[in-house]
Amino acid sequence: MILRLVFLGLVLLPFTLVALPIQAFIVFFRLPGWQVVPLMFFKILAFGLGLRVSMQGEPVADGPVLLVANHIGWLDIVAVASRVPVSFVAKSEIARWPVVGLFAKLHRTIFVERTRRTDSRRTANEMSTRIAEGASVVLFAEGTSDIGTHVLPFRSALMGAASTAMGTNGGSQVVIQPLAIAYTAISGLPLSRHERHQVAWIGDMGVGDNLAAILGSGPKDVRLAFGAPLPANGDRKVTARTAEASVRRMLNALNRREPLPSAANMV
């Protein structure tokens, strides 16, 4: 833990102090390339936290995409953002967190007020605008976090943002891509169920306890699996169930260290 704290203090902190005003300038003036600084930041942070991130399958590289994923904890954001330039959909409380809220805003996070059902329309509109601009947006479609052994039902309320983006963008290239996130090992040994508190945000665990568990554990293997893209112009409830099934199959395979299902079997 001490070495990680030293690294974060001597490497990540100076980088952040230099990069923060640069990123603020880029976002404020809506300049291109806003993803570059966050990608560098999260790569450094992932290394400092001991994440070893690998990818299977190919993320959609060209054109707008909505990535729908399972959710285990805040480490998911670090793992995904260290490898893929994306924006996230997050609960509105994060916007009010000290420091973290500022970072989230500079990462162009889309905030949703989950206690207000009427906020889904505003959030979906903001998501569709971002997707129509050609961005990749990540939605943790379960609506909550879990320990990472199974997938909770995907909520379909915000899935329609992709089809709305098609109308805004005027093209059929907008797609929805399933993404499975799995923590498979610590210090090279398979992750057991009782060790998942070292990576997952479980129950009423506090931020300090969760961070201490992460910093105190060994190198953590994280695997990101990208499924076959789905068309965004279908029924959002059917699409949500299809994406959920794809993520579940990929997650089970990753946790069992088995080959991923073929693309034909994942959709």
CA 56, 59, 64: angle at the middle one, nearest 5?
170
pLDDT at 150: 92
Q: What are phi and psi of 58, to 5 degrees?
A: -120, 125
pLDDT at 128: 87
Q: Which of the two residues, 267 and 13, has the higher pLDDT score? A: 13
139 band by pLDDT with thresholds 50, 70 and 90:
very high
Distances (CA, A) of 162 to 89, 134, 175: 13, 11, 7
pLDDT at 252: 96
Q: How far separated are the first and last CA of the chain, in Å rounded?
A: 41
Output DSSP code: residue 173. Answer: -
Report domain extents, the chain. 50-266
Other beta carbons within 10 Å of 38: 21
Other beta carbons within 10 Å of 21: 9
Whole-number percent of the chain with pLDDT over 70 = 93
Taking the C-alpha atoms of residue 74 and residue 145, their distance in angstroms, rounded to an integer, is 9
pLDDT tops 50 at residue 31: yes
Per-range mean pLDDT, top range of 10-24, 104-118, 195-209: 10-24
Taking the C-alpha atoms of residue 3 and residue 210, their distance in angstroms, rounded to an integer, is 18
pLDDT at 166: 65
Taking the C-alpha atoms of residue 228 and residue 239, their distance in angstroms, rounded to an integer, is 13
Kindly state the helix (H) or strand (E) to which residue 222 belongs, with its residue range. strand 220-226
Q: Which amino acid is at 110?
A: I
142 band by pLDDT with thresholds 50, 70 and 90:
very high
**Cβ contact 224:80 at 8 Å:** yes
Residues whose CB is less than 8 angstroms from the CB of residue 125 and which lie 6 or more positions away in sequence, other chains included: 161, 164
203 band by pLDDT with thresholds 50, 70 and 90:
low
Give me the residues paired with residue 220 across strands.
51, 186
Looking at residues 13-20, what average pLDDT do you find?
97
CA 170, 87, 47: angle at the middle one, nearest 5?
145
pLDDT tops 90 at residue 49: yes
Which range has the worst mean pLDDT, 9-18, 176-185, 189-198, 199-208? 199-208
Burial (CB count <10 Å: 0-12, 13-18, 19+), residue 67: buried
The SS3 call for residue 176 is strand
Looking at residues 28-56, what average pLDDT do you find?
95
105 band by pLDDT with thresholds 50, 70 and 90:
very high
- By DSSP bridging, strand 65-69 and strand 136-140 are parallel
Q: What are phi and psi of 192, to 5 degrees?
A: -85, 170
pLDDT at 120: 79
Domain 50-266 belongs to what topology? Glycerol-3-phosphate (1)-acyltransferase (3.40.1130)
76 band by pLDDT with thresholds 50, 70 and 90:
very high
**Cβ contact 137:68 at 8 Å:** no
Taking the C-alpha atoms of residue 136 and residue 64, their distance in angstroms, rounded to an integer, is 6
pLDDT tops 50 at residue 27: yes
Taking the C-alpha atoms of residue 108 and residue 87, their distance in angstroms, rounded to an integer, is 6
